[in-house]
Each structure stands twice: as C-alpha cells, then as structure tokens.
Structure 1
Amino acid sequence: MTGLQYMSGFGNEHASEDPRCPGALPEGQNNPQVCPYGLYAEQLSGSAFTCPRATNRRSWLYRILPSVCHKPFKPLEEGHLTHDWDEIEPDPNQLRWKPFEIPKAPQNKMDFVSGLHTLCGAGEPRGRNGIAVHIFVCNTSMTDRCLYNSDGDFLIVPQQGKLLITTEFGKMLVEPNEICVIQQGMRFSVEVFGESRGYILEVYGAHFELPDLGPIGANGLANPRDFLVPVAWYEDRQVPGGYTVISKYQGKLFAAQQDYSPYNVVAWHGNYTPYKYHLEKFMVINAVAFDHADPSIFTVLTAKTTRAGVALADFVIFPPRWGVANNTFRPPYYHRNCMSEFMGLIKGHYEAKEEGFQPGGGSLHSMMTPHGPDADCFEKASKAKLEPERVADGTMAFMFESSLSLAVTKWGLQTSNRLDKNYYKCWEPLKSHFNPKYK
C-alpha cells in the first residue's frame, strides 16, 4: 500500500493511518496507556521542545516495535562522506565538474549509501551550523538496510533514474524534475531501477521552509498545496539474518543490527514529515519591463539563519519561462557575490553555458569569485532581436546558494577525476568593445 497526500502547508498538522488498521490513531491524546492494536507510541522531535508554536516540529509514530530495539552502533566504512573541510588546500577558482560517473553493475554494485560522496561544504554538525553538498551515484537498491541522518536534513535532487523512497511515514516515488526532503532523524531506504545519479543539499541546524513572498503578494513561487507527504504504510516483517540501521552521525557512518523492519509504523500524525515537490509546479516571477532580476526570485525552499534575509542555504531553480524585458541583456549578468553558488543541471542546456555545463555535472562559484555567461552566450545575447522569447524550454538547472564559504573536498578536486580543468577558457574569447568616441 503506497500513496501520497497534499501537505497543505508547512508547519500544519497532518495525520495518516494504514487502511489495514482503521482507528490506529489514538483519539484525544498522543500517548494513551494502551495504544490501539497494541502499538507503541514514539515521538520524533525536529525542534527543541520549547520552540515557539510556529516553528515547533514533531510527529507521533504508532509502531509495532519502538526504534530503540537494536544492537549497539559500530563504525561503517562506506562512501566518501566527510565534514573535514581542511583535508586539502582552498581553491578560489571557478570550478566545474563533468557528469559524475555511475558505477557499472554487476561488477561494481553500489547502493545509495555506498554511493554517497561529499563534494563541498562548510561548518560542522556538532555546532549545528553548516551545510554540505553531496553527489550520489548508484546502480542497486538498498536491501534490508536503512539510513537516517542525525546531523541534518537531506534535500535530494534526482538527475538520472527514479527513486522509490521508503520512509517510516510511507513511500514516495521521486523522479528527475522532482525533489524530496528527508528531515533529520527520519529512517529511509532507496530503491532504484537502474543507473541513478543526483545531488543532495544537507543543512545542519535549520529546516527548509518556503521563502517569504513580500511584495510578490499571497501567491507565486512554490505554493504550499503542491507539496506531498506519504500515506502511512507498514510492514510487520522479521529479518532473521539481520536488518542494518545506518546512522550518519557527526559526519561519519555507523551501523546497528536489529531483527525486524524499521518500517513498522501503522499510523502517524504531526507536522514533521518527509515530503516531495514537482519542480514543474513552480510559478515563475520574472521581469516584464527591463533588466535581469536577481536569482532569488527563483527560490523554492530556504533554510534561514538568525540574520534577517541571510540564508544558511537556498534551493533555487531556473525553469522554462518567458523572457520579455526591454533593452536588456537577458542572460544572467556578470557577477561577484558574497554567497557561495553551487549549480547543477537536471536536463537540457543552461542558457549561459550551453556546451560545457552538462546534466549530471556541476559548478561552484565561491565567494567573490567572478562568473557569468561564456563568450558565445555574450555575443549571441548582445546581438539578439529583443522580442518575447521562450527561455530554458526542456531545461531544468538549479542552484544551492549559501552564506557560508564552501570548501571543496579531496574527492571533488582529485579523487572523482571529473574536474574540468579547462573551465576558465570559456571566458578567454571575451574581448573589449570599448570606444571612447561613442556612447
């Protein structure tokens, strides 16, 4: 039994029970002396108990066995996860990666956990302030094992291959051009249907939320009604050979054994859940008079800091849209920024760099490192006839933007062997058009 239901808004209370057990949700109280069907009540808290009501996040899970029933955790050496940002010298250059390679099965089987690789990041999970950007490449499903992140939230962006994600709350099928968020502490497994690849934005110490709309008004960007949460689904399954529960804790992986499936939640209610969103539902706000608006108008989700208007991380997309501005250079402007900008491409051709920037690859423009359209894009856009035109049809690019200065890992700069060492050359053909005699 699988399914999804509308989220109906961030911070709102949701409830679900597996239809095989009607009435599994207790009435009138969260933790009765005896729960219906002999279930255990377990609270999952995503915020401090004393957080204001508007920001308090928690859900109650009614399960066959509580999650505390497992053997001790032991270190697990898999993947290339790290939060050691000093393992290699800093690099302020414009960086671009070719599509990250997916291992070939059956010679090299790799599931979602073993295929996790940290590309860049800043901060650290013990201090509850920071982010990391990971790449996942895999070719096989997780079998009798699950992962939960003790450090923060995962925003997962599939680029190739659909993911069937089983969580304690139910199942979600997430395909390219969709995203999902698995919040801190939620156990999940990933089933794949062939070679799969994608991006992950991890945030420590904050949760993703919708950005404020300000002068835009009540509607626009991502609408709350378009987010989906799972419908309760459980399995009462013993695993005599052992089920592996993997915890990402302080940047490292640990594994514990238990003899039952963790997906034994018969019912749940609360406002702390996994959720998914289809990027085609984003309602673009764009310039209609002149100039090129800042990319913040394309923000889908934000993880805020305590400084007003400054994000720990923003998730921004560049979807198909109309370009209609008058007397304006329409591609992205040349730019230096006090933020760090990691870009990825799900499909298509990004307008500012149609050749070298490929689906499944990425780029990083660090704090105050200049960037912008390549020479071909500049020449073409400078001579283009200024009439209404479609931009980015068949394309979906995105950006992870952060107020933190991101360090690149050794895997990103050396081990992956995907760094494009000729990236800087895309700007070398730019030439001076300056003529002091003419305006």
Structure 2
Amino acid sequence: MRIMQGQLDESRQERDTFKEQTRLLTQELERTESALTKQQVATDAMREIFHAELTETQTKLQQTEAKLSARKNDMESENREKQITASESEDRDNSALHHSTISKDTGDESVQADDTSVSETKPTDVSDDMFVGMATDEQTTIHIDKEDYGGFASDHGASTGSVGTAAEGNWKMKLLEGHPSQPGQVFIKATGVAFHGDQLMVCYPDNHIIQILDKDYAFLRVIGSFTGQFTKPFRPLDVAIAHSNLIFINERGNSQVVVCDESNTVVRVISPLKEVSIYGIALMLRYLLLTDVKGHRLLKYTQDGEYVSEVGSKGSGNTEFDWPWSVVVNSNNVIMVSDCHNHCIKCFDSSLQFLYKLGTPGSGDGQLDWPCSIAVDKDDNVYVCDGSNDRIVKWRSDGKWICNLFQGEVQNPLHIAVTADRIAITEVKSNTVKVFYL
C-alpha cells in the first residue's frame, strides 16, 4: 500500500511539472505571437509607405518622360527644318554655280553648256537607266542617280552615292534617307534591317512600322502599326524571317516578340518578357534566340514561345556578357553574339556551349570597339558593325580576319544585313540606310 501511494505521489509531481512547463511554453508562445503581430503591423505600414513612394516616383518618371519626348520631338522638328532650309540654300547655290561662272578678269558672267561641267565617261558597273554624269578628281569618283527611289531624300533632290575601292574589289553605294508612305511624313531613326529575297525590310521604332521596299527601293507596304492591339505603341527594333515566311519582330514598346505573316496579320505574341530587355533576335531550326542587354544573357525559346535555356551573366568570361547586342546563326548552327562592352564576338554551339571568340579590344586589324550588329553571308563569312571604329569588320567562318570594309563611308554603323551582292547598314545619327553593292 505504501509503495502504491509513493508511485501516486511521483505521478502527481510529474503532472505538476508538466503543467508548469505547459504554462511557461504557453506564455512564451503568446509573447512570440504578440511580437510577430507587431512586426507584421510594422511591415504592412512600411509596405504602404514604400508603395506610395513608388507610385509617386513612377508618376514623376512618366511626367519626365513625356516632357523629354515632347522636347525631343521639338528638337527633331527644328533640326529637320534647318536641314531643309540648308538643303534649299545649297540647291540654289549649286544651280547658280552649275549654269554660270564669273570672269575674274572682267567680272562678266558667261554661260556654260551643261555637258562641259560633267564628264561623260560612265563606270562599267552603273546601268544606263541610273547614269546621269560623273565628276572626277584624283581620289574618288561620284555618280549621281537620276531616280529618287520613290521618295527617298525627297527634301534634298536627287540622292547621291559614291563609287570607290573597298578592301575587296569595287563597290557602289546608295543612301536611303527615309521613305514617306504618306505625303509629308518623315521617317526617323532606322534600326534593324533584313533582306527577304529581293526585298529590303527596315525597322522604324519611332514610326511604329517596318517598311518593305522592292529591289529598286520603291515602297511596297508596311508591317506593323497594329493600332489598339497592344497596351503601348508598337516599336519594332529588329526583325528575322523564318523559312515559313513568318516575320518575327523584336518589339521593344511592349517587351515582346510579335509574329505576323506577310499580310500584316498577327499570328501570335511571345509575351510577357518584362524582365528581359530584348535587343537582338535570330532564328535557328525551330528555336528563337534573343539577347537581353541589361540582363547580360542569351535566351533560347521555341518559336512557339516556350522557354528552353539561357547562358550568361554580367562579366568578361567566355560565358559572360556586358551588353550582348546582336545575335546571328550561320549555316552550321554556330550562334554568334556581339558583346559590346567586352569588344568581341562570342560563339556558341546550338546547346549554348561556348566555342570561341572573334576580335579583341582596339582599332587595329581584327579588333573591335563597341561591336553592334552581326550578319553572315552564304559562305558563312562574318560581318560586324564596328561602331566606334566607323567600319565593318569581316572574318572568315573559321575565325580568320579578312579585311575592314567601308572605312570613311560609314559612321557609327548600328545594324547590318547581307546578301550575295548587297550590304545594308543603318546609321541612327545620320538617319540613313546605306546600301553597298558588291
């Protein structure tokens, strides 16, 4: 009996101990929950404060962007008016000089025949329907085209090009200074260019369209606008054409890729890409390749928009980028990316594994300073817009440097497209597209 009583007392003591532990734990839990509640209240308050500050900052940013946009439009209109005025003055001066000369001895004016001021020798690579005349000197030969390319340079009279010698044989050039599809409309800041058969496609982000020109650079039609279909205005930055003739457009205004057909009907939209600052675009087999300049990445999607893989982060290593600008793919599915701030071209296989580099920083042969767009020809030769060196650098498919092209003829080349006999280059600063005939 005493033994049982002792066991009962022990059990009671153990129970009392558990009760006390339970009471203490309950108090600690209550204190913890109270502290968490206070912290949650503080967090919610801070969230509201930060949200209000963010909303206010975004509003101010929108207002500032609107002011900048208005100022930019005013400056562009003012510059355009100055250019037109200067061009008209120059045309008047040239006309007066062309038809008369002042005698130094007598001060009398004597009229000259038109055919005495222009040489009648025609270059062998300029067709009869283009040739008007040539003025020659010891260093260069200038020919004047009598056609105005359906509206190009309509404010400046006839377009002019130059005939000269590049590092590889003879070439000639046409300047395309905007191509109004409506009277009085001026197109500005051409970016991406692409050849589609004999047609030339030119992206105009600020005009919200891609213009399509025929082989003689006459206006055919536009791709784009898409009024009301997207949240923000359509701003095409670059373009790639699939074998199916579908057109893939890097559309910066809404951070998306717009896929449309040749009748300007949207087939699909690859979106959202809000975390991606897309710039370069290329197609490879059934895949879509995009460069993310601010994220310092090369992204790989299916052409239906399904994410596949990526490579890159900010840096200077073989698989790192510092502003990857453009991407192109050759016939062997070698992917080439221009790495602007690292001043080189980085090459990858179809699985995004690093292969080799083209170029080193500098201005010498085989060197680059701010490489922008890239293109390849039918032989897989590589053409790079060497932005700050004002030239195009050409490499063989095996990575051997070939030559520098168009030095003295291009300034800050931005985008490039290549066919068997033509190279098209855009210059944003001069607001021109230059087409070189090889």
Larger helix fraction of residues: 2
Greater Rg, structure 1 or structure 2?
Answer: 2
TM-score band w.r.t. shorter chain = under 0.3
Please report the TM-score for the alignment, with normalisation by the length of structure 2: 0.25
Larger RCO: Structure 1 or Structure 2 (Cα < 8 Å, ≥ 6 residues apart)? 1
Please report the TM-score for the alignment, with normalisation by the length of structure 1: 0.25
